[in-house]
A and B are shown apart, each in its own frame.
Chain A
Amino acid sequence: MREINVKEITSAIKEMCITVNHDLSDDMKDALKKARETEVSPVGQKVLSQLEENLVIAKEKTIPICQDTGMAVVFLEVGQEVHFTGGAIEEAINEGVRQGYVEGYLRKSVVGDPIERVNTKDNTPAVIHYSIVPGEKVKITLAPKGFGSENMSRIFMLKPAQGIEGVKEAIRTAVSDAGPNACPPMVVGVGVGGTFEKAALLAKQALTDPVGLKTEKPAWACALEEEMLSEINGSGIGPAGLGGSTTALSVNVRSFATHIAGLPVAVNICCHVNRHTSKVL
């Protein structure tokens, strides 16, 4: 058994909130650079170079990449040999978010109640997903989510007979409805299978996969990712929705077993500011 003081979780989350909002992962930066080189529209090229310049300014001058620094989504994978000490884990996570957003000059975008809508002023609570895994490590993944793109996400409960064509149509629908609102070029997270909530969770997790990851997934999923990426980039929406050949940087699919009677498909749309970072304690 390994003891971990929850203070370690708090300080890791605090630091991750700040860094992830000022610096994108290398795979996202590479994807943007590649997009600028292949974009056919002059307006689109201009937009993409503004986005690259934005990333440089954000990092050098410590200004958040986007003013919507998101609602904090935390995935906590806890080794089953771990014992947390020093307090409640959920409070420790929220304390990390609180410190990160307040001390890091990040925007507080969370209201405490969806109807009464009073800002909590410290961006808490986070949305937390726990899982128990073998071992004695703790892996924290933080993925703050902006709502311009979150609002354009969809879930579809398809019939099994609709098959892969139904999945494609679901992705097409979500992306074309999202259009310029989701700040394209987008990253499209797709969850196929499971139950209603499992599909949504898979789609969210897929957004944290590196761009172009092709391991650990069935052949149909790899083929679907490539076909849909090409099709989406032929939609004409383009960077910022102003027309062009770069509408998405990546389509990431995750799948799970499902029921004989169903085919749930969730499409979680993310913008080019696809922030995610992980740390293992």
Chain B
Amino acid sequence: MDKKINLPITEEISQDLHIGDFCFLTGEMYVARDAAHKRLMELIAEGKELPVDLKGATVYYMGPSPAREGRPIGSAGPTTSSRMDFAAPTLLDMGLKAMVGKGKRTPEVLDAVVRNKATYFAAIGGAGALLSERIKESEIVCYEDLGTEAIRRIRVEDFPVVVVADCHGGNLYESAVKEYKRSANSH
């Protein structure tokens, strides 16, 4: 089912989302990947304040290519989420409500999604040009020294994603693959 969603994602919105829903997100989200997550976790370990406001936030696991003149951002498709699994449960427990990436997550992350009534979306990997066009603004929040891995705030319009793990415990990567698996004796 196609759904238009205005960010931020709330508990109510999360409860209304189910695996397989195609959603078009409009609003603000953070962009962060490996190195930025490492720094955030270090700050948390030291008990320091974070440079981002996690309450109700959506994070997009992405490292863009450079923007050409007149554009907010370059190519901007998702990176593999599993590399952020070490940080995701902590961030979810601290208020993060949605993640956008690609690929499977650990059971710990999926449990944290359910526990916090959050949602894990997939954007289509390798569709960086198409996704770039749905990003209307982009600014660096911090960690500019990390280049493509800096934390950004972006504003998206009708950004296409699919619910792959919902707060009801659904996991599309598991269920859809089973559905389309050709049985061993049919070929």
Contacts and interface: CB of A to CB of B under 8 A. Distances in A.
A146 B135 CA distance: 22
B127 A54 contact: yes
Interface stretch (A40-48, A85-93, A257-265): A40-48
A243 interface: yes
Contacts of B74: 63-64, 67, 105, 107
B160 interface: yes
B179 interface: yes
A231 B127 CA distance: 26
B74 to A, nearest CB: 6
A168 to B, nearest CB: 14
Instruction: Using C-beta atoms within 8 Å of the partner chain, give the interface range for chain B.
Output: 35 or more
B104 A65 contact: no
A4 interface: no
B132 A63 contact: yes
A236 B180 contact: yes
A66 B103 contact: no
Nearest to A47: B124
Interface stretch (A75-83, A126-134, A176-184, A191-199): A176-184
B164 interface: yes
Contacts of A244: 176, 180
Nearest to B82: A181
B173 A179 contact: yes
B76 interface: yes
Interface in B151-187: 160, 162, 164, 172-173, 175-182, 186-187
A105 B67 contact: yes
B180 A245 contact: yes
A107 B63 contact: yes
A247 B51 CA distance: 40
A6 to B, nearest CB: 27
Contact of B178 (A119, A236, A271): A236
A234 B187 CA distance: 9
B177 A238 contact: yes
B160 A50 contact: yes
Contact of A151 (B71, B80, B133): B80
A241 B129 contact: no
Given A53-B130, A106-B65, A181-B82, A238 B180 contact: yes
B173 A180 contact: yes
B128 A63 contact: yes
A235 interface: yes
Nearest to B125: A183
A236 B62 CA distance: 26
A109 B66 CA distance: 12
B68 interface: yes
A39 B32 CA distance: 33
Contacts of B102: 148, 180-181, 183, 240-241
Nearest to B180: A236
A183 B182 CA distance: 20
Given A180-B102, A235-B181, A241-B177, 16 more contacts: A50-B130, A54-B130, A63-B129, A65-B128, A66-B77, A67-B63, A67-B74, A108-B148, A148-B103, A180-B103, A181-B104, A235-B182, A240-B102, A243-B176, A244-B180, A273-B126
13 contacts: A50-B160, A53-B130, A61-B129, A64-B129, A66-B125, A66-B126, A151-B80, A234-B186, A235-B181, A236-B177, A241-B122, A241-B177, A245-B182
Interface of B: 20, 22, 62-68, 71, 74-77, 79-80, 82, 102-104, 122, 124-130, 132-133, 146-148, 160, 162, 164, 172-173, 175-182, 186-187
